[in-house]
A and B are shown apart, each in its own frame.
Chain A
Amino acid sequence: DTGVSQDPRHKITKRGQNVTFRCDPISEHNRLYWYRQTLGQGPEFLTYFQNEAQLEKSRLLSDRFSAERPKGSFSTLEIQRTEQGDSAMYLCASSFSIGNTEAFFGQGTRLTVV
């Protein structure tokens, strides 16, 4: 399978714990995006990378959130001191940087904070 891969698919954690999600983009893509989707809503942009550089962060990305893409390949999204409001689907996507090409999404990581 050469699509966007996310791990884990589901995560249940207790409030206050830290969690980390991983995204493996399509290998030829140099752009990688993170989105958050709460129940009944469309995805909301969180941040994106071009290669290893984080080019933009949404105001939704509080200080408890950090994303990395150290070698310009896979990316991790860490949430520290999780809160119940962090419960959502976290979607990763990747695309080329040239032209108006679409982003390809992974199947997401569903986080439940109890």
Chain B
Amino acid sequence: AQKITQTQPGMFVQEKEAVTLDCTYDTSDQSYGLFWYKQPSSGEMIFLIYQGSYDEQNATEGRYSLNFQKARKSANLVISASQLGDSAMYFCAMREGHQGAQKLVFGQGTRLTINP
């Protein structure tokens, strides 16, 4: 069974608009971590934001915020005021295994294109 689901293969957004990338997950663990990574065409996976399952507040990092809805098992990424440089693949991931071990399970990704 797929553990991370990203239902949007592609998104097209006008520059300066906000965008929400969807992510749902499946786990029976009480303790887990959720991550978002950005992968530009160069191939490197760039860490954006992290949310722990016990964190009561939604994580924020600059223009990135994570809309964490635990009961619905969703962890959507919100990018405010999008920029042309935000065009890339975006992956949602969940940490499996014991705390700290970054054995990540990734979704299939969403390709975000920012139009000028």
Contact = CB atoms under 8 A, between A and B. Distances in A.
Interface string B1-16: 0001000000000000
Interface string B41-59: 0111111001010000000
Interface size class of B (residues with CB under 8 A): 20 to 34
A93 interface: yes
Contacts of A108: 43-44
Interface of B is mostly: strand
Given A56-B97, A102-B47, A108-B43, A44 B102 contact: no
Contacts of A56: 97, 101, 103
Of listed B45, B99, B102, residue having the most chain A CB within 10 A: B102
A43 B45 contact: yes
8 contacts: A42-B106, A42-B108, A43-B91, A44-B106, A48-B102, A96-B100, A102-B50, A108-B43
Given A33-B102, A45-B105, A104-B47, 9 more contacts: A31-B100, A31-B102, A43-B91, A93-B102, A99-B100, A102-B50, A103-B102, A106-B44, A107-B43
